Amino acid sequence: MALFYPGANEETHFLLILRKSHPKDVHSNQVGFPGGKLEKNDVDLAHTALRETQEEVGVDPNEIEIVRPLSEIYIPPSNFEVYPFLGLYAKPASFIPQVTEVAALVEVPLSQFLSDDVIFTQKLSTSYAKNVNVPAFKLNGYTVWGATSMMLSEIKILLHQVL
């Protein structure tokens, strides 16, 4: 869930999370959007996104207006197809990070994100690739790459169409 909300001084922000380190998780210690796997009781993928957002950062699903789905993305290392959504959280309360999955909340001001200065290429090594140049965003001091970077690129294009 790409969740946009009014932050400090009523400036629009969106929320990313730093995932906790887990030895068997290929996405361990990476920055991404709140989200997770479809469960048997989920009505549809939008319900999954809302449920996972509530579980990971404590946002009541009734407080989120889903604006639109984003492009689905396949992630080879975890063998998952991701179905992201863009949502609005008009009257935010405090976020409550899930201590078992979320190491930190990363609240990004929209003005920072829209700057071209935050886009760069970095050489990264992971459990499945060594010394690979990847396009990335530098947001609040964190390097955001991979599927999250792809979603952010789509969001940036969409925002430039309406701004």
The ranges assigned to domains in the chain are 2-162
Do the beta carbons of residue 58 and residue 17 sit within 8 Å? no
- C-alpha dist (Å) from residue 141 to 91, 107, 112, 155: 26, 11, 11, 20
Q: Which residues of the chain have pLDDT under 50?
A: 26-27
Which residues are registered as beta bridge partners of 14? 4, 108
Do the beta carbons of residue 128 and residue 77 sit within 8 Å? yes
Quote the percentage of the chain above a pLDDT of 70: 93
What are the tens digits of pLDDT across the range 128-143? 778 888 889 999 999 9
Cα–Cα dist 56/53, whole Å: 5
Q: Quick one: pLDDT at residue 27?
A: 46
For the domain with range 2-162, which CATH number is right: 3.90.79.10, 3.40.140.10, 2.30.40.10, 3.40.190.10? 3.90.79.10
